[in-house]
Amino acid sequence: MDQARQVFSVDLLERFAAKGRGLITCMAAGNDVIVLGTSKGWVIRHDFGVGDSHEFDLTVGRPGEQSIHRVFVDPGGSHCIASVTGSGGSDTFYIHAKWSKPRILSKLKGLVVNAVAWNRQQITEASTKEVILGMDNGQLHEIAVDEKDKREKYIKFLFELSELPEAFTGLQMETASVSTGTRYYLMAVTPTRLYSFTGIGSLEAVFAKYLDRAVHFMELPGEIPNSELHFFIKQRRAVHFAWLSGAGIYHGGLNFGATHSFADGDENFVENKALLDYSRLCEGPEALKPSSFAVSEFHFLLLIANKVKVVNRISEQIIEELQFDQTSESLSRGIIGLCSDATAGLFYAYDQNSIFQVSVNDEGRDMWKVYLDIKDYAAALVNCRDQLQRDQVYLVQAEAAFASREFLRAASFFAKINYVLSFEEITLKFIGVGEQDALRTFLLRKLDNLTKDDKCPITMISTWTTELYLDKINRLLLEDDMALENRNSECYTIIKEFRAFLSDCKDVLDEATTMKLLESYGRVEELVYFASLKEQYEIVVHHYIQQGEAKKALEVLQKPAVPIDLQYKFAPDLIMLDAYETVESWMTRKDLNPRKLIPAMMRYSNEPHAKNETHEVIKYLEFCVHRLHNEDPGVHNLLLSLYAKQEDDSALLRFLQCKFGKGRENGPEFFYDPKYALRLCLKEKRMRACIHIYSMMSMHEEAVALALQVDPELAMAEADKVEDDEDLRKKLWLMVAKHVVEQEKGAKRENIRRAIAFLKETDGLLKIEDILPFFPDFALIDDFKEAICSSLEDYNKQIEQLKQEMNDATHGADNIRNDISALAQRYAVIERDEECGVCRRKILTVSGEYRMTRGYTSTGPMAPFYVFPCGHAFHAECLIAHVTRCTNEAQAEYILDLQKQLTLLGSETRRDQNGGINEESITSVTPAEKLRSQLDDAIASECPFCGDLMIREISLPFILPEEAQQVTSWEIKPSLANQRSLSLPV
């Protein structure tokens, strides 16, 4: 084997490891720590992790020659047990990594320790926890040591072989936590037997059970000088074991799971047992037995003579032979033994002088081939490192299944291959043998193994698979026409599977190509199903309509993703197919535009319907008008036309009388076309409806004329509707009266009596003289005597009432004239010290102190002023200035403009002394007086302190914007130059 490809390699670790303390007799390793025992009773500890070594002399105080029989070290490298034998007997010592001196275990005096089982799950650097020692006399002892105690905590006797007393040569222990405590698993070997112990609780309790029951063991024939037992540890758990026995290497897997029940005494936790016969290790007639061995994950390292043969545990083939570079002195005895460091993953070999390290280089790299050769495909796949290796495993499985004509199984394996065989080669294999089912299976599995990025291959394979499905369905239908009716048939199953495939692949299948395939194979149901998946709802709905399944078509149209245009497109067909379901579907949606459904509704309305049948279009239109408050004139006109065609006109009249626009400001009361409604009602001879429409269009004369043909009472009601036009109302009642007079039959006096009774119904609107022209010329006046007298009395009462009203008007005019005269004499009293409300100066001040107000005439030595009923007085000039300042800009400009005009006109007209107004001024008003009156209205209509002007001033700021500069001038600015510091006396 190529050296570069070797799994195991040997390197010399240390040539003279005993350091002159004798020859090496035994060795143990753990966690990069090597402990050697020598022939002179020395224990040498090499710690390669920290790079130092320690020597311990175990012969102190012992007579004669002493030799180290066996040394043991825990997986962590902290605890060491050594057994010394010699002429003085045997002793057992314990050495901790931190101790400078060993401690003798006095209770084990005279006993030779051959094997030690460490509690790997619980051991720590400070404490050994439970440790089991196997003696050469077939006894088992338990020991525990804490580093801080400097001595053992206890030593307990556990068990002794009584049936066949033999020395224990190997011990291994495993623990597992269960709900009731800790379960112990122990394997022990002697030269001929392998014992197994298990139990829950303490070790003492576990072994106490075996006092009254047999111990489970495996016995193999043959003899071997040194029987060994090794566990392979992976992630701190034992995975499998191997026993070096006289018959061969007995090995198997270990299962310490909770699934095993030991209540019945079954203590065999070994699985997949096997025996490697020594005869497979050499070609000679007599097989050589190993003197020592070690166990790796997949191999056995067997020390035979001076070589280590590496045997694959699975294939039982020798894959390598390891040679050692020994000194001439060591060649005579050869390699003494092997040991393993489970923590570091290393193996060691030693002779009497040297230590050799056996390193492992990726021992599992070719294990997939080993498992493949023995046809353990699952294990082979687990050990594959890349897709190419997995492809070779799948290929072997596929070829084997194909050869045995298990084509469907072969297709599943071929689908997992990516490199070693091309897609075309695999498909041609199935096509060559005519296995379309297997080919379809292969394509389906291939789709599962492709990634989303392989868009083109996915589409091509999906399309091919679709065609294979369609071909399979048609073949099955040709064989059995009734296959679709049987739900247990293969055809039904294939169709169901095909639909699931379409659903899964709807996004990768080409829509046009797939639909053409489905159509060409005549699979309409699947075509509709695929169209539904691809949201091609038009095809789906069309198919259901063709099949007469309106309800299914409507269910499709109700889906949120369906365009609303399809509702309008298929509405004519659907309403003819099933009017009830169609209208019910429309009424569930509020987003439909009823105007676009009018063609469908008119098509349905043109068809004859039974008398008792509910008119579905009317039901939907009523829903739109009353529930949805639709205002479309087309909808209202259509509903009106359908009402007009009904024999009973009650629904039509209710519709015409309903005010659909109520609640809307300035909105119409109806939305139908009244002219169209009138023409339609005239055509259908719905006279009452025509009367209502005439009235609604304010064509009252036509309404009354038509009503007189139908029902005079209705004509009277129409005539009463006119209230705002008295002449028209009278004219309408005259039409009714004429009709009444002309239509009355019977005696002349009876006709006259009825006509006079009709006059009473008009509430005085018509008089006897209004209806006299309607009577024939030869009617006697005596017949109307009573009515004429009554009319004359009414006229007399009206004349008397008019006279009274004229007298009241004359009296009122006299009162107004007197009030005007009294107003001219009105005055107010001003106290001498009365002040102006604005300037706070006396009102009665000589006018020389003020500039004469423009447009005013001096009333003497005093300035013009105003006095208000509330008692406030103001100089005219002050009042004008105050009002101008406080009112808005437009009003202020208006006041100033009036002042300007008064100034231009001059002071031609003078007021009387003290501002009095004589009677002549009432009748003749000059332009100046008119302007002055307007100015008085503008500034003195109300007191500025008591009226609205004062209320509006609340919202004005105290400081106006134009006074900002004045406010700034009042700011106090500090002047640093003029500041003085005054010292105050304390």
Each residue of 41-94: pLDDT tens digit?
A: 999 999 988 888 899 999 887 777 889 999 999 999 999 999 999 887 899 999
Q: Is the pLDDT of residue 983 over 60?
A: no
Q: Specify the pLDDT at position 974.
A: 64
Q: What is the mean pLDDT of residues 214-238?
A: 89
Between residues 894 and 859, which one has the greater pLDDT?
894
* CA atoms of 437 and 468, how far apart (whole Å): 8
Angle between the N-to-C axes of helices 407-414 and 423-432, in degrees from 0 to 180, rounded to the nearest 10: 170
Q: Is the pLDDT of residue 857 over 90?
A: no
Q: Would you place residue 368 in the very low, low, confident or very high pLDDT band (cuts 50, 70, 90)?
A: very high
Q: Is the pLDDT of residue 487 over 70?
A: no
Q: Is the pLDDT of residue 209 over 50?
A: yes
Between residues 690 and 123, which one has the greater pLDDT?
123
Q: Per residue in 792-816, pLDDT tens?
A: 667 677 777 888 888 888 888 888 8
Q: What is the mean pLDDT of residues 105-117?
A: 93
Q: How many helices (H) and strands (E) does the chain have?
A: 34, 30
Q: Is the pLDDT of residue 913 over 60?
A: no
Q: Specify the pLDDT at position 906.
A: 65
Q: Is the pLDDT of residue 753 over 60?
A: no
Q: Is the pLDDT of residue 976 over 60?
A: no
Q: What is the mean pLDDT of residues 580-591?
A: 90
Least confident window among 27-36, 583-592, 638-647: 638-647
Q: Specify the pLDDT at position 112.
A: 94
CB atoms within 10 A of CB 484: 15
CB atoms within 10 A of CB 206: 20
Q: Specify the pLDDT at position 2.
A: 47
- Phi first, then psi: give them for residue 197, nearest 5 degrees: -130, 145
Q: Would you place residue 787 in the very low, low, confident or very high pLDDT band (cuts 50, 70, 90)?
A: low
Output the 3-class SS for 504-533: HHCCCCCHHHHHHHHHHCCCHHHHHHHHHH
- Phi first, then psi: give them for residue 790, nearest 5 degrees: -65, -40
Average pLDDT for the chain: 82
- Phi first, then psi: give them for residue 629, nearest 5 degrees: 55, 45
Q: Is the pLDDT of residue 230 over 80?
A: yes
Q: Specify the pLDDT at position 399.
A: 94
User: Whose CA is closest to 200, among 268, 124, 121, 261?
Assistant: 261
Q: Would you place residue 733 in the very low, low, confident or very high pLDDT band (cuts 50, 70, 90)?
A: low
Q: Per residue in 344-365, pLDDT tens?
A: 889 999 999 899 999 999 889 8
Q: Is the pLDDT of residue 302 over 70?
A: yes
For residue 975, what are the CA distances in angstroms to 965, 972, 981, 984? 21, 9, 13, 22
Side chain identity, residue 547: Q
- Decide: 940 and 875 in contact? Cβ < 8 Å: no
- Decide: 872 and 946 in contact? Cβ < 8 Å: yes
Q: Specify the pLDDT at position 130.
A: 92
Q: Per residue in 459-484, pLDDT tens?
A: 999 999 999 999 988 888 888 766 66
Token duo for residue 49: 């992790």
Record the pTM.
0.59
Q: What is the mean pLDDT of residues 700-729?
A: 68
3-state secondary structure of 187: strand
H runs (alpha helix) in 160-213: 203-208
